[in-house]
Chain A
Amino acid sequence: ETGVTQSPTHLIKTRGQQVTLRCSSQSGHNTVSWYQQALGQGPQFIFQYYREEENGRGNFPPRFSGLQFPNYSSELNVNALELDDSALYLCASSSDRVGTTFGSGTRLTVV
């Protein structure tokens, strides 16, 4: 059973650019959630995908968008990057509320 894999592990982008982060969910998990974790804080919910449809969204602007593919892998896209978007982006997969597994995250730095 493989865990949740995220890529890349680190990324540096310039303000105004666009970024795509990727996540391969754990085998058997059909739900993927994305979280943003700023330095020294707890993760904040961005959105969730279930069977390729958005299934809930947190308080993030529309320039944060996502996709889920038939194999349940997922992408997080952020347009028009701002300095405050610098954070650790976490992907979590689950098949029910008890079984959530997090990836190691992508550390995004916007300069």
Chain B
Amino acid sequence: TQLLEQSPQFLSIQEGENLTVYCNSSSVFSSLQWYRQEPGEGPVLLVTVVTGGEVKKLKRLTFQFGDARKDSSLHITAAQPGDTGLYLCAGHQTGANNLFFGTGTRLTVIP
């Protein structure tokens, strides 16, 4: 059973378009992180959100943590080919030492 479900699983868009990736769960998380992973590499941390309703911006990327801390979204404005990669959400639960990863969203930005 996957604790965190991401949608869509695959996304292929043209350069300059906007997109949103969703990360949903029926469980509460004490914090949630977003990673980007490129082929042959490990995941690289983009952001951590810890407060319900929190919004963080990283250049063209906007991350939001749901009010109930069960879901999150990643919005990319004016996507560029360099944004291509596997986007993973991952959460910590109170009392657990590990990260629970989502199913991943593979983004391809076409020049």
> Are A and B genuine complex partners?
yes
When C-beta atoms are compared, the residue in chain B nearest to A103 turns out to be: B42
Residue pair B41, A42 in contact (C-beta under 8 Å): no
Quick check: is A101 within 8 A (CB to CB) of the other chain?
Answer: yes
- A:16-70 near B, CB below 8 Å: 31, 33, 35, 40-45, 48, 50, 55-56, 58
Which residues from B are CB-within-8-Å of A4?
42
Interface size class of A (residues with CB under 8 A): 20 to 34
Residue pair B42, A45 in contact (C-beta under 8 Å): no
From A33, A56, A102, A107, contact of B43 by CB (8 A): A102
From A42, A58, A103, contact of B98 by CB (8 A): A58
Residue pair B43, A97 in contact (C-beta under 8 Å): no
> How distant is the Cα of A58 from the Cα of B96 in the complex, in angstroms?
10
- B:18-35 near A, CB below 8 Å: 30-31, 33, 35
Which residues from A are CB-within-8-Å of B4?
42
Contact with A along B48-86 (1 / 0, CB 8 A): 100000000000000000000000000000000000000
From A33, A48, A50, A98, contact of B48 by CB (8 A): A98
Residue pair B100, A97 in contact (C-beta under 8 Å): no
| Residues of A that sit less than 8 Å from B by CB | 4, 31, 33, 35, 40-45, 48, 50, 55-56, 58, 90, 92, 97-98, 100-105, 107
